[in-house]
Amino acid sequence: MIQQITRGIKISVHTSFEGTFYKNYKMHYAFAYVISIENQSKNSVQLVHRHWNIKDSLSRTEHINGEGVIGKKPVIKPGETHTYQSGCLLASPFGNMGGFYSMVDFTTTKQFTVDIPTFKLSAPFALN
């Protein structure tokens, strides 16, 4: 598990390899990740946007932007945690992901970013 705190918001990430499959005559490597967003600040916040940088070992980088996470824009009160699970496909057995969330502080009404720490994705059968 990897963790990082930005402006009182703690991001924890746990990853797992889910398997391989063929799609459009190409091998794909499926990974799942569980992210917990813990509000350690004194103010309620809302996650409104996400930005991902997804890189595989073939040096391909994909940039993903979107509203909220898995169709939600969660409000996280002080001391609360929002956890969700998602996944990604890579064209190689190794890669990484990282990025940021855009959040709104309900007390100040200002938007700020929270770093998502870069985490590794690796298929265990490909490791030495």
Residue 127 lies in a domain: no
pTM to 2 decimals?
0.92
Residue 110 lies in a domain: yes
Residue 88 lies in a domain: yes
pLDDT at 7: 96
- Name the pLDDT band for 23 (thresholds 50, 70, 90): confident
11-19 average pLDDT score: 97
81: CATH: 2.60.40.1470
Residue 128 lies in a domain: no
User: Total structural domains in the chain?
Assistant: 1
99-119 average pLDDT score: 97
pLDDT at 127: 65
Structural domain that includes position 19 = 2-122
Residue 56 lies in a domain: yes
Residue 103 lies in a domain: yes
Encode pLDDT of 47-94 as tens digits.
999 999 999 998 789 999 999 999 999 999 999 999 999 999 999 999
Number of C-beta neighbours around residue 83 at 10 A: 12
The answer to whether residues 35 and 84 touch, using CB atoms and an 8 Å cutoff, is yes
Residue 104 lies in a domain: yes
